[in-house]
Amino acid sequence: MRVAYFSPMPPERSGIADYSALLLPALRGRLDVRVVKRGRKKAPRGTDVSLYHVGNNPDAHAWIVDALHREPGVVVLHDYVLHHLVAGMTVGRRDGHAYLDAMEREYGVVGRLLAHGVLDKRIPPLWESRPADYPLSSFVLEHATGLIVHSRTVSELARASGFPGPVWVVPHPAWPVGQVVPVRLAPGMVIGCFGVVNASKRIPELLQATATVRESHPEVKLLLVGPTSPGFDLDRRLQRLGLAEEGVVREGWADERRLWSLMAGSDVAVNLRHPTMGETSGSVIRALSLGKPLVVSDVGWFSELPNEVALKIPTGDDEVNVLSSALELLVSRADVREAMGAAAVDLARREHDVGRVAELYTAALEESAGGAAVADAVLRDVSEAAAEVGISGDAAEAKEIARRLAEVELGT
């Protein structure tokens, strides 16, 4: 079966490009996959189904959504909140009317008025200030024949928004752990945090918790790896908390190899966020593969991680206290770290194995490409047999037949 594959691909700097680079070899062992060249708007001739990887970044995904709008297909929804993408494809193309229409279609007159407010610069851009309140996901979902998502959270959000088609929950694949040489940037216990340094990654709360933990465990260091968001004053926060001289080790953007090494050299991996856009985290998947005990926010996909591998921190007033206690527990108990690490490796092998993920993709694509024809064939066969013995479509017996078909998911 031939599949047209729309995705950012390396060397683009995109988590989804890395994802596709990992998935494609395993998928090609099962399907005839044709990767569509960036910018093309049509699937190659002779393909049976198109697969569109969609994330919130317009630079990486606008051309893919353009193609989706031309020809519906299966969408891999990497983020549920797509306001930034939609803004990029409308306002970013100097097409304010399209933005107004998108907002009105999804949120009615109020949405249109808000969009006017944004275009007239009377209110801050919603994609920056309140994206989770206005995810604009229908911009994509309306054109999807089926959805592949990475979490039950996003599956439920799609259903709640009224998406009627099939939804397949497929775990994020885990990268194989190659020859990783651990790099420890500090003596003592290292808490690693990997990704963009900003408020939504709960860095202020993490810094406060680190300062608290260091009162009883001064040997603990926080390793922050990743670029700092513009406008996030990290240095001032470090100074205020007394972490500027020691306590925090800083490293900016790290390439893939360096990232693995630094993560392997950490004792604990922290990955917090709020709000969530419904996304998964490549860093968390890497940490699982390396067998690192995790501390995550109790939101979205992160909430779905088994308790055996992650301590989950609720967002809210008590966030810093709970986070401090979680870090305190992990830095002081080697047995807990070891047990969580072993469970993490097991989970990565069991759930996130790339072969298993490719098999789930294949099932979804095969069901999507031929499922309707099969459902029609089953219904035709059953209804013809019923009609031949005088059971009409509105008879009680026909209703029972329909009920039985639904019980075993046939005819749909």
Partner 1 sequence: MNVAVLRPQVPFARGGVEIFTDRLVDELRARGHDADLVSVPFKWYPGARVLTQAFLWRMLDLDEADGKPIDVVVATKFPSYVVRHPDKRVWLVHQFRQAYDLDGTELGQFGDSPEDRAIRRKVQALDRVALGEATRLFAISRNVAARLESSTGLRADVLPHPPQALEFRCDEYGDFVLSVNRLDRAKRIDLLLQAAALDAALEVVIAGDGPDRERLEQIARDHGLDGRVRFAGRVSEEELADLYARCLAVYYAPVDEDYGMVPLEAFLSEKPVLTTTDSGGPLEIVTDGASGLVVSPDAGELARAAGWLREHRDDAASFGRAGRAVAAEVTWDRAIGRLLE
Under the rule (CB under 8 A), what is the footprint of partner 1?
1, 48-49, 363, 366-367, 369-371, 373-374, 377-378, 381-382, 385, 401, 404-405, 407-410
Q: How far is the CB of 395 from partner 1 (least distance, A)?
A: 14
The four Cα atoms 280, 285, 291, 295 give a dihedral, to 10 degrees, of: -20
Q: How far is the CB of 380 from partner 1 (least distance, A)?
A: 9
Q: Which is nearer to partner 1, 49 or 340 (CB)?
A: 49
Q: How far is the CB of 366 from partner 1 (least distance, A)?
A: 4
SS3 of residue 116 by DSSP: helix
Q: How far is the CB of 384 from partner 1 (least distance, A)?
A: 10
Q: How far is the CB of 320 from partner 1 (least distance, A)?
A: 40
Q: Which is nearer to partner 1, 31 or 191 (CB)?
A: 31
CB burial of 369-395 (b: ≥16 within 10 Å; e: otherwise) equals: beeeeeeeeebeebbeebeeeebeeee
Please give the distance of CA 259 from its chain centroid, rounded to a whole number: 20
Other CB atoms within a 10 A radius of the CB of residue 110 amount to: 11
Q: How far is the CB of 78 from partner 1 (least distance, A)?
A: 24
Q: How far is the CB of 407 from partner 1 (least distance, A)?
A: 7
Q: Which is nearer to partner 1, 304 or 351 (CB)?
A: 351
Q: Which is nearer to partner 1, 334 or 374 (CB)?
A: 374
Q: How far is the CB of 411 from partner 1 (least distance, A)?
A: 9
CB burial of 148-184 (b: ≥16 within 10 Å; e: otherwise) equals: bbbbebbbebbeeeebeebbbbbbbbbbeeeebeebb
Please give the distance of CA 35 from its chain centroid, rounded to a whole number: 21
Q: How far apart are CA 322 and CA 328, in angstroms?
A: 10
Q: Which is nearer to partner 1, 327 or 401 (CB)?
A: 401
Q: Which is nearer to partner 1, 18 or 48 (CB)?
A: 48
Q: Which is nearer to partner 1, 348 or 365 (CB)?
A: 365
Nearest to 235 by CA among 200, 274, 207, 195: 207
Residue type, 390: G
Q: How far is CA 270 from CA 189, 191, 292, 393, in A?
A: 13, 7, 10, 58
Of how many residues is the chain composed? 412
Joined tokens for residue 183: 């790099």
Joined tokens for residue 193: 């945090």
Radius of gyration of the chain from Cα atoms? 24
Q: Which is nearer to partner 1, 255 or 407 (CB)?
A: 407
The Cα angle at residue 306 between residues 301 and 312, in degrees rounded to 5: 65
Q: How far apart are CA 124 and CA 117, in angstroms?
A: 8
Q: How far is the CB of 350 from partner 1 (least distance, A)?
A: 11
Q: Which is nearer to partner 1, 218 or 306 (CB)?
A: 306
Cα torsion 235, 237, 243, 247: sign: negative
Nearest to 320 by CA among 212, 214, 196, 242: 212
Nearest to 278 by CA among 107, 159, 144: 159
Q: How far is the CB of 360 from partner 1 (least distance, A)?
A: 11
Q: Which is nearer to partner 1, 122 or 403 (CB)?
A: 403
Q: Which helix (H) or strand (E) holds 4?
A: strand 2-6
